[in-house]
Amino acid sequence: MSYFLYNFLLRIFSPLLLLFFIYRTWKRKDSLVGLFERFGFNKFGPKNLKSKKLWFHAVSVGEVKVAETVIKTISNKNPELIIYVSTVTQTGRLEALKIPGVEKVFYLPFDFISIVKRIFKSMNPDILVIIETEIWPNIINQARRYGCPVFIVNARLSRRSFNRYKSFGFFFRPIFNLLSKVVARGKEDAGYFVSLGACDVTVSGDIKYDSVELLPENNEKNANFSKPKISVLENLILAGSTHEGEEEIVTSVFVSLQRKFPKISLMIAPRHINRTESIQKKIQNMGQKSVLWSSISENILEDGQIIILDVMGELAKFYSYATFAFVGGSLIRHGGQNPIEVAVRGIPVIFGPHMYNFNQVSELLLKEGAAYQVEGEQDLKRVMNDLLSNEVLRKKVGSIGYKLVRDNQGSSLYATSLILKAIETSEELEIE
């Protein structure tokens, strides 16, 4: 009855959904290929290939990086496997295209039963691996009907998401029950999945620790950039993956701190680059000037500048140049962004009160003294002032963070071993 109601509602709202995606495709000037892929029009090569086929689904960049870690290990151990990756966001798609050995990258199809059936018939995957949390009823249900085990790897659920699923337990419990295996990032997440009906749940640790490159502990900062261009960024404050409403706060704090520390510079890296122009206007309305990183020529940087990073794929490298970094999406109710990318660079991490998407990582960083959690603008100013005033403190906090990341790496090996085992014995997992 639940599936019937779900699919009935999807049919009713399908015209609105179609209009929305056509409008969004036009608004963003995206290719129509993405729209076609969402309707299941994909080609996956010859069906008579003997090699096993793995379908990885990762929503956006963060999940794709976890998928990449797992895929690299799996491919090294079994290079004959055919691997497909689906994403939801364009940035995730672009990141997935960089993964070596992936046969095809495509947008996740709409969860209409006819579309989902078309995908499974065309692809015929031997296993579906969902990264973190994406519960699509028809995809999961049809996967099991086609004899395709469904794994959730690095599985996580915030308390808020858990409560939402629990509120509709009459509908979601049968879906969670269909999951072949849940490899959770921690005991709390594992408990949530068990409570929601998942039968086979284990804990691997957070694979996000493995998705970052462990740099030398002395943090050789000039390895990836031409020295003239970044020579003046000796006192750089970096606000990474910021969201609407956070840039003004960070800029206000920076302007205030400049009175005491006139040589500091600020780099703002918005989560969505298409917001660059609006951020520039906001900074201008505050009486300040900003410069786009893409427009900077050699040797023209000056102390005290506000730089907007408008180039994709560079943020992780710039963390190596920062004195410390603020992690965006945390002063607003977004749930934060990945603080591991900062900690691995050996610099202090600062984030706001809303880190529920990374609660286990952020709590560990705070417990070990590798991060600071701030409540708002004044608190952020106080912490930044303390760090700018105390180099010894900065190095101590940064070193703790680096060692914490180093000591927590290795979780991906356990998860990949379970996937490979499932591939080898897939016939035992198939539903008769």
Average pLDDT of the residues of the chain = 89
* Calpha distance 179→135 (Å, rounded): 10
Give CA angle at 213 (361, 62), nearest 5°: 55
Burial class, 376, CB count within 10 angstroms (exposed 0-12 / middle 13-18 / buried 19+): exposed
Closest CA to 142 of 6, 34, 16: 6
**Region 173-196 average pLDDT:** 96
Confidence of residue 145 (pLDDT cuts 50, 70, 90): very high
* Calpha distance 415→156 (Å, rounded): 14
86: phi then psi, degrees, rounded to nearest 5:
-110, 150
**Region 71-93 average pLDDT:** 92
| Model confidence pLDDT, tens digit, residues 32-47 | 677 788 888 888 876 5
Q: Which tokens go with 300?
A: 């023209």
For residue 7, the model assigns a pLDDT of 87
For the cut 60, the answer to whether the pLDDT of residue 412 exceeds it is yes
Burial class, 168, CB count within 10 angstroms (exposed 0-12 / middle 13-18 / buried 19+): exposed
* Calpha distance 108→119 (Å, rounded): 10
Q: Of residues 431 and 268, which shows the higher confidence score?
A: 268
Using a pLDDT cut of 70, give the percent of the chain over it.
90
| Model confidence pLDDT, tens digit, residues 210-256 | 999 887 654 444 444 444 355 446 689 999 999 999 999 999 999 99
For residue 428, the model assigns a pLDDT of 46
**Region 273-292 average pLDDT:** 95
Confidence of residue 81 (pLDDT cuts 50, 70, 90): very high
Burial class, 47, CB count within 10 angstroms (exposed 0-12 / middle 13-18 / buried 19+): exposed
**Region 339-343 average pLDDT:** 96
For the cut 70, the answer to whether the pLDDT of residue 269 exceeds it is yes
Closest CA to 353 of 374, 323, 384: 374
* Calpha distance 297→314 (Å, rounded): 17
Question: What are the chain's domains?
Answer: 32-210+410-429 (3.40.50.11720), 227-407 (3.40.50.2000)
For residue 55, the model assigns a pLDDT of 97
| Model confidence pLDDT, tens digit, residues 345-360 | 999 999 999 998 898 8
For residue 225, the model assigns a pLDDT of 44
* Calpha distance 223→202 (Å, rounded): 39
Q: Of residues 243 and 26, which shows the higher confidence score?
A: 243
